[in-house]
């Protein structure tokens, strides 16, 4: 190959590598940008007077006197809406049966939309669920509810060849000629005075417990559970993985058994994570009875089995990368084999071993399937260290899936879902960053 061709190939490979990095960066940006922007919306948003009332009543947080004044101001404007409802009730009672039937269904929808905006209407009984005791706590959701009040969505089935299309019908037009028609324009013009939106930084989203299945409150139990599970998995897997790697590199003799063990370890790394979950349920809970049912302990053991092959492989390669002269010098000075491993080989291999630990830690924090059967619950309180042996825990990865797919009001709490995703990504990055800093310090100490 001549020099010109070689240079051309080198430049082509350089351009290909640079292009791949750019594409990977853009892909990450496309994925992470919406998560970051919408996730931050769970903490920074326009909160309404309903949000401030919720914080005061449920978490005893906020200036009670100031909130009382704001509530009184908002109620002045809301009272006019309630008066319009009362006026229409009297008008409805004076109508004949046919007219009442015409308006009754739509009127109930109007009342439901108003309850969604302001909470219980005058005369309503105290709702059992927290979600019905308050109106909209976020201004963006209040604007959505306003649309539901102003318009009724219907479907156009006129063309049988295409899928039915939705369209909006003005509720004001439906109540044309009645006293209720003025309500819609009044609410639209004065919504801000009735909800009193203001920019809010709600750090309680990180530190508060959830209320009413994540309709309100924060995600602290899920954050704590994720940290417990990830650290618990590392406590079990890391020492076992390092010991196994030392055995493979320093003590095992080449042969059928060693080859089989290495093959089994490689195969274990490729097993689908849901299989580990079923294994954890069958072995740790049903056979060993490490706990009566789901628990942090059972989940940590299951995650430990799942990440063990990665740790073994990384530790094995790190130990093999240590120059043989280190070992020979130590043995030559009269040190024993075990002492050489502990004082020379493992410290020299520690940066590489920690790299495997970093990768495994991030995977343990983000896995969902293994903890479904062994540790995770969809809704629960934060647990203490003393409860990890017998109690299950909420966890971010499982609750993200649960809230996005199985929650009865998934569309209403999108901000919670994105907030959880952003928190999980942040926790994984922080755990990895901590391990990387630790590894760098150890490397610097060894070189110094």
Summarised one tens digit per residue, pLDDT across range 73-108 is 999 999 999 999 999 999 998 888 888 888 888 899
The verdict on residue 14 lying in a domain is no
* Full DSSP string of 220-253: HHHHHHHHHHHHHHHHHHHHHHHHHHHIIIIIPP
Cα separation values, 251 from 229, 237, 312, 329, 399, Å: 32, 20, 15, 19, 44
What domain range includes position 78? 45-201
70 and 95 belong to one structural domain:
yes
80 and 148 belong to one structural domain:
yes
- In this prediction the pTM is 0.86
pLDDT tens, residue order, the chain (448 aa):
677 888 888 888 888 888 988 998 898 888 888 888 899 999 999 999 999 999 999 999 999 999 999 999 999 999 999 999 999 999 998 888 888 888 888 899 999 999 999 999 999 998 989 999 999 999 999 999 999 999 998 888 888 888 888 889 999 998 998 999 999 999 999 999 999 999 999 999 999 999 988 889 999 999 999 999 999 999 999 999 999 999 999 998 888 888 898 888 888 888 899 999 999 999 999 999 998 889 999 999 999 999 999 999 999 999 999 988 988 898 888 888 899 999 999 988 988 888 888 888 888 888 888 999 999 988 788 888 888 888 999 999 999 988 888 878 888 889 999 999 999 999 888 877 877 787 778 777 766 6
The verdict on residue 335 lying in a domain is yes
Cα 310 versus chain centre, distance: 25
Q: What is the CATH number for 311?
A: 1.10.3720.10
188 and 226 belong to one structural domain:
no
Q: What's the rounded Cα separation, in Å, for the pair 308 and 252? A: 18
Cα separation values, 83 from 87, 121, 127, 248, Å: 6, 11, 22, 81
Q: What's the rounded Cα separation, in Å, for the pair 358 and 370? A: 19
The verdict on residue 337 lying in a domain is yes
Q: Tell me how many domains the chain contains.
A: 2
Domain ends where: 201, 228, 251? 201
Tell me the average pLDDT of the chain: 90
The pLDDT value given to residue 86: 95
Contact predicate 314/351, CB 8 Å: no
233 and 370 belong to one structural domain:
yes
Query: Which residue in the block uniquely carries the two structure tokens 């219907």?
Result: 154
* The pair of three-digit structure tokens given for residue 139, joined into one six-digit string: 């201004």
Q: What's the rounded Cα separation, in Å, for the pair 361 and 70? A: 47
Contact predicate 115/127, CB 8 Å: no
The pLDDT value given to residue 393: 92
The pLDDT value given to residue 62: 92
The pLDDT value given to residue 1: 67
The pLDDT value given to residue 133: 93
147 and 193 belong to one structural domain:
yes
147 and 109 belong to one structural domain:
yes
171 and 291 belong to one structural domain:
no
89 and 227 belong to one structural domain:
no
The verdict on residue 402 lying in a domain is yes
* The pair of three-digit structure tokens given for residue 92, joined into one six-digit string: 């409805």
Helix (H, G, I), strand (E, B) or coil at 21: helix
191 and 252 belong to one structural domain:
no
* Full DSSP string of 141-164: HHHHHHHHHHEEEEEE---TTS--
228 and 160 belong to one structural domain:
no
225 and 185 belong to one structural domain:
no
Residue 323 exposure: Cα atoms within 13 Å on the Cβ side: 4
Residue 111 exposure: Cα atoms within 13 Å on the Cβ side: 17
């Amino acid at each position: 190959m001549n020099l010109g061709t070689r240079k051309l190939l080198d430049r082509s490979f350089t351009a290909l590598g640079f292009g791949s990095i750019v594409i990977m960066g853009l892909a990450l940006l496309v994925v992470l940008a919406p998560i970051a922007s919408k996730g931050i919306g769970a903490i920074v948003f326009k909160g309404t007077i309903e949000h401030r009332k919720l914080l005061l009543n449920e978490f005893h947080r906020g200036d009670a006197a100031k909130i009382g004044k704001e509530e009184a101001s908002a109620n002045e404007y809301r009272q006019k809406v309630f008066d319009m409802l009362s006026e229409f009730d009297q008008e409805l009672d004076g109508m004949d049966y046919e007219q009442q039937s015409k308006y009754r269904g739509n009127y109930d929808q109007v009342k439901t939309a108003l309850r969604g905006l302001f909470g219980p209407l005058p005369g309503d009984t105290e709702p059992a669920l927290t979600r019905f005791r308050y109106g909209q706590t976020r201004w963006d959701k209040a604007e959505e509810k306003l649309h539901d009040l102003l318009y009724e969505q219907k479907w156009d089935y006129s063309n049988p060849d295409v899928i039915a299309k939705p369209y909006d019908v003005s509720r004001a037009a439906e109540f044309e000629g009645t006293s209720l028609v003025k309500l819609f324009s009044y609410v639209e013009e004065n919504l801000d005075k009735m909800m009193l939106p203001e920019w809010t930084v709600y750090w309680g989203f990180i530190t508060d417990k959830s209320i009413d299945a994540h309709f309100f409150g924060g995600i602290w139990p899920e954050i704590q559970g994720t940290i417990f599970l990830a650290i618990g998995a590392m406590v079990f897997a890391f020492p076992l993985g390092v010991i196994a790697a030392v055995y493979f590199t320093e003590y095992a003799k080449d042969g059928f058994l060693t080859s089989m063990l290495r093959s089994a370890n490689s195969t274990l790394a490729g097993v689908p994570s849901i299989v580990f979950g079923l294994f954890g349920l069958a072995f740790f809970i049903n056979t060993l009875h490490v706990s009566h049912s789901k628990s942090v302990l059972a989940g940590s053991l299951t995650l430990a089995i799942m990440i063990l092959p990665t740790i073994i492989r990384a530790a094995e390669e790190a130990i093999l990368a240590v120059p043989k002269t280190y070992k020979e010098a130590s043995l030559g000075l009269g040190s024993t084999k075990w002492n050489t491993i502990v004082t020379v080989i493992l410290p020299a291999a520690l940066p590489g071993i920690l790299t495997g630990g970093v990768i495994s830690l991030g995977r343990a924090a983000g896995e969902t399937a293994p903890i479904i059967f062994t540790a995770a619950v969809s809704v629960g309180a934060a647990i203490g260290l003393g409860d990890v042996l017998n109690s299950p825990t909420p966890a971010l990865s499982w609750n993200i899936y649960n809230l996005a797919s199985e929650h009865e009001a998934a569309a209403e709490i999108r901000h919670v879902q994105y907030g959880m995703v952003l928190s999980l990504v942040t926790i994984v990055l922080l755990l990895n960053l901590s391990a990387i800093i630790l590894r760098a310090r150890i490397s610097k100490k060894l070189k110094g």
